Structure 1
Amino acid sequence: MKLTEAIERGLTVWTESVATAIEAVADRQLRRPRVVIRYDQPEAIVMTVQTPPKARPMLAAARLNPALGAAQVGLSPEWLRTLRGAVLDIHLAAENVLIRPLDFPKQAEPFLNGMIRTQIGRLTPWNLGQVLYGYSAPRAASDRIALTLAATPRALVQPLLAFADQVGIAKLVITADVGPTDGGPIQIFRTSLRSSLAGGRDLGRVLKLGWLSVAATTAVLLIATTLIGGYLDGEIEDAQAQVTRLRAALRPAMGATAADGLLAKRKQTSPASVIVLDTLSKILPDGTYVVEMHLENDRLQISGLTQDAPALIRLIEQTPQFSRATFYAPTTRTAGEAGERFHIEARTNAYFGDRA
């Protein structure tokens, strides 16, 4: 809880600082009118325009009693238009302010605000929530610093704060007249009630709400992006796993298909030795003996004994299963043999059916 409060307090201070800077630039650019109130008696308040807006005539001083609760009573339409969006300076007379001289060690100068804030109940008759206070610039004297504290009860100026809010004042500054001997007026309160840049609302609050909205939207988008990204990553991983499983399942089938295709192609393009031998046994005449046979791819070589070797060439060529028959070695006749020794080479055909 304390962390949340610290963050909120820091955000509030930051937005108020930014709003103050923006309002300062706006004051210079827009040339807002400055209305001064002399607060001597609660029933006799004099209000004058110190810096009239451009192209507007100077308004006569107005007297009003904000304690009556009706801020607009007795004010002309010109005054009401002037007050809306103006800067209101309230000067409190010395008799309405508690003035107290203070003295601190010089080393305490960086911590004056905190020291006075914690001791305001001892220095004034009011507690921190009941008082508006400020102090003059420290004056160094040897190893000590002197300053003047000015304080007034919040209840004294509460009717003026309500009046400023009703008429649409943009900025409100309260100063206490403590006399020239104490360094001149001391500012005891300053606030931006609303801004014309923010449509008549408190610019600091608008900036704070805007920053919180942006932070909340960013957080929601970040969470949504994280959730959606995680979901999509999971879907992608599942899809990749399924693809991997399918590839692993199809790889043996693909291999088998490829092997079957190679076998089928080899079967279609390469004649079987048994079929070649069967065909030769049918076409070779009686009295012919095959001693050796070599079959490599589509090349057939046979050798053996026969009565008429050239006739074998003719028989092999006439068979549709063979082509390009020729002698690859001389035909010889050896004494004691019953025939000629032949060496024939031919090309085999892959298809062993009937010739079309």
Structure 2
Amino acid sequence: MSSLSSIRTILDAWTGTVAGAIVTGLERMVAPRLVRLVEDEKGTFALEAAKPENSLKEIAFGDGKFAAANLAQIVRGSRVEIVLRPSRFLFRPLELPARAADFLDGIVRAQIDRLTPWSAGDAVFGCSAPVAQGSESLTTLIAAAPRRLVIGYVEAVSGYHPSAIAIVTEAAEGGRIKVFEQKSRGAIDPVRLSRTLQAVLAVAAVTAVVGSIAAGYLADSLSTQENELQQQITQRRAAIRGIDGGERSPLALLERRKYETPASVIVLESLSRLLPDHTYVTEMHLAGNKVQISGITRDAPSLIPLIEQSQHFTRATFYAPTTRSSTDPGERFHIEAQIEPRNAP
């Protein structure tokens, strides 16, 4: 639990610092007009504004309201600082280590119930700019007051729709200490911005974890699919090469068909060597292991013995009558024969 508490404290301090820097930068870029209400010893307020023509001599405060007719026109859209008398506040000096300068607000909030009669929820408080005391320590002055004291002034000004309301006081050593600040709905609140930054960081962390888990799951799934595909490819290659199928493998069947099926080129080459020069082949048909040729020759019967003498052909015969025309230079023959495949070297 202590480690989680330490992490939460560091995260709050970091996001608070970032949010404050963002708000400060935006306020410097677009700074609203400053209107200051300074309380005197009589309880009345003097108005300090950028435009003297709109300033009022003296503003009374009573029954939770400021008695000024044109105060709404001056305050609207401006940043209002209400400077209360130091007598309304309790001042306490505080000495801290030098490295605590970056976490001063959080440290003061944690010790406010020890330094004042009020708790952090019942008081408004602030601290002056830290002053270094050597290289190891620093001192600051804390100003605190009951929250109910300042809420009346804040509510009295809120109805005029300023951009921001701040409660400050003058310290005895000089310098103003801000103890309370409230921004309008449209302005950027450092506290809300800090919480938004924490929410964004939490969402980013959850997204990163979910993304990492999803990436690991997808990587495992893709690896499994890759292994399955590799196995299928290996099996296909083994089947093609005949490793698993023996004589019935596709490669063996193709090899056997290569030697059992007659090649048309070899058939044509063999016929061209067998037939005499006076014989002309006009048509040739291959159907399975049978070849049919037709053409013109001087002596058709002599072709049958020539074809059968070849090692490539058997059972040569005429499948149509031999005819002779007056226009033909010889006999027109039609012979078919059985092919003996001899494709091997």
Query: Are 2:231 and 1:241 aligned?
Result: no
Scaled by the length of structure 2, the TM-score of the pair is: 0.57
Q: Is the 8 A contact 1:139 1:147 kept in 2?
A: no
Tell me what 1:134 maps to.
127
167, 179, 187: which one aligns with 1:189: 179
The yes-or-no answer on 1:261 pairing with 2:254 is: yes
Q: For residue 187 of structure 1, report the CA deviation from its aligned partner.
A: 0.7
Which of 72, 89, 92 pairs up with 2:84? 92
Displacement of 1:162? 3.5
> 1:173 touches 1:191 (CA, 8 Å); kept in 2?
yes
* CA apart distance, 1:266: 1.5
Q: Which runs of 5+ in 1 are unaligned?
A: 271-314, 324-347
SS of 1:24 mapped into structure 2: helix
Paired residues of 1:35 and 1:49 also in contact (CA < 8 A): yes
Work out the percentage of aligned pairs sharing the same amino acid. Answer: 17
RMSD: 4.6
Q: How much has 1:184 moved relative to structure 2?
A: 0.6
Unaligned runs of 5+ in 2: 243-248, 264-301, 317-334, 337-345
Secondary structure in structure 2 of the residue aligned to 1:191 = strand
Q: Which structure has the greater CA radius of gyration?
A: 1
Number of the residue aligned with 2:47 = 48
Contact 1:175 1:187 in 2 (8 A): yes
State how far apart, in whole Å, the 2-side matches of 1:103 and 1:28 are.
Answer: 30
TM-score by structure 1 length?
A: 0.55
1:318 and 2:311 are equivalent in the alignment? no
- Give the distance between the partners of 2:29 and 2:260, measured in 1 at CA: 98
Question: Relative to structure 2, which stretch is displaced further, 170-179 or 222-231?
Answer: 222-231
Q: Supply the distance in 1 between the matched residues of 2:12 and 2:94 (Cα, whole angstroms).
A: 32
Q: Does 1:60 align with 2:56?
A: yes
* Alignment correspondent of 2:332: none
**Structure 2 CA distance for partners of 1:253 and 1:15, relative to 1, 3 Å:** closer
Q: Which residue in the other structure is 1:223 paired with?
A: 210
- Measured against aligned partners, the alpha-carbon deviations of 1:48-106 in whole angstroms (never above 9, x if no partner) come to 24334xxx9524256354753xx6x7565x64354344222222213212345x586xx
Shift of 1:127: 3.7
What per-residue deviation string (whole Å, max 9, x for no partner) do you get for residues 231-263 of structure 1?
A: 585267337515633651673366322212222
Q: CA 1:172 to 1:321, structure 2 compared with 1: closer, same or farther past 3 Å?
A: farther
Shift of 1:109: 5.1
Match of 1:332 in 2: none
State which of 146, 155, 159 in structure 1 corresponds to 2:148.
155
CA distance in 2, matches of 1:90, 1:5: 37
- Deviation string 1:180-229 (CA, Å, 9 cap, x unpaired) is xxx2134142535247xxx3452552464266247526744762685377
Determine if the alignment matches structure 1 residue 33 to structure 2 residue 26.
Answer: no
